[in-house]
Structure 1
């Protein structure tokens, strides 16, 4: 079993431009992925913050290719405020969007668990936790797309 990478796909009945905005705009990201808001500076190197259930995801935007690809790194270890994101303390999340008529196919890949500065059993446990979480979060994205005005 690969415990370094998670891959998930989902089809959403919405145009690619709308799904792109749901993934990259703070007002939407902070609703379907977080439940207490988000901030995003949508440019490579820009800051990303998503809040939910008393937790805060802190990350950095890695790549922005409008309507097709969005990637970010997010902290996985306790690190000092302002610390750089590296392969030893963060994982890379990549959303790839492809359009097929009014349906958008979203492919999510999260990678880098094997590079984290953690014992192997903790890397595997984190991978398992995220593997179970992404189907839930992608379901929230699909549900959110169904209720957001076109």
Structure 2
């Protein structure tokens, strides 16, 4: 089966946010686990470690050849919504998530007759040193990472 084609992420410069809504031909519970369980997140996104579960779980996330950054689960509404706050600034990283140097990305899931609709919205780019550039980088990142999520879930559906 060929992976579902989805629209690309969009930037809203007025609200300093990046948004992408995709459809995945997989059941909601499977998509939920794949965006909340570290072992599954690490199969399509960055290598993540978390201590604790649910809201306030702390950890780090990183990609091969890049530094690991602090991450914290902000909200956790099972089968519906999860959000993560992570640091996005260049330079020395704080030990924990710095509210003034971070953005928040939220996954919202909704069951559909043929699978799951997932929307990611990342906000807080006004707190970065170069909002336009960071939003452009993350727009491209969400396109690539969520395409990997769709391919992983639909391949294993």
Query: Shorter chain as normaliser: what TM range?
Result: 0.7 to 0.9
Indicate the larger mover: 38-47 or 11-20: 38-47
Note the 1:1-150 alignment, pairs <5 A.
2-3=12-13, 4-34=16-46, 37-40=47-50, 41-55=52-66, 56-77=68-89, 78-86=91-99, 88-116=100-128, 118=129, 122-148=130-156
**What is the deviation of 1:79?**
4.5
Residue correspondences, number: 142
Q: CA 1:49 to 1:147, structure 2 compared with 1: closer, same or farther past 3 Å?
A: farther
**What is the deviation of 1:44?**
1.3
Give the alignment's TM-score, normalised by structure 2: 0.82
Which 5+ residue runs of structure 1 have no aligned equivalent? none
Which 5+ residue runs of structure 2 have no aligned equivalent? 1-10
Give the alignment's TM-score, normalised by structure 1: 0.86
Root mean square deviation, CA, Å: 1.7
State whether residues 44 and 63 of structure 1, in contact with CA within 8 Å, keep that contact through their aligned partners in structure 2: yes
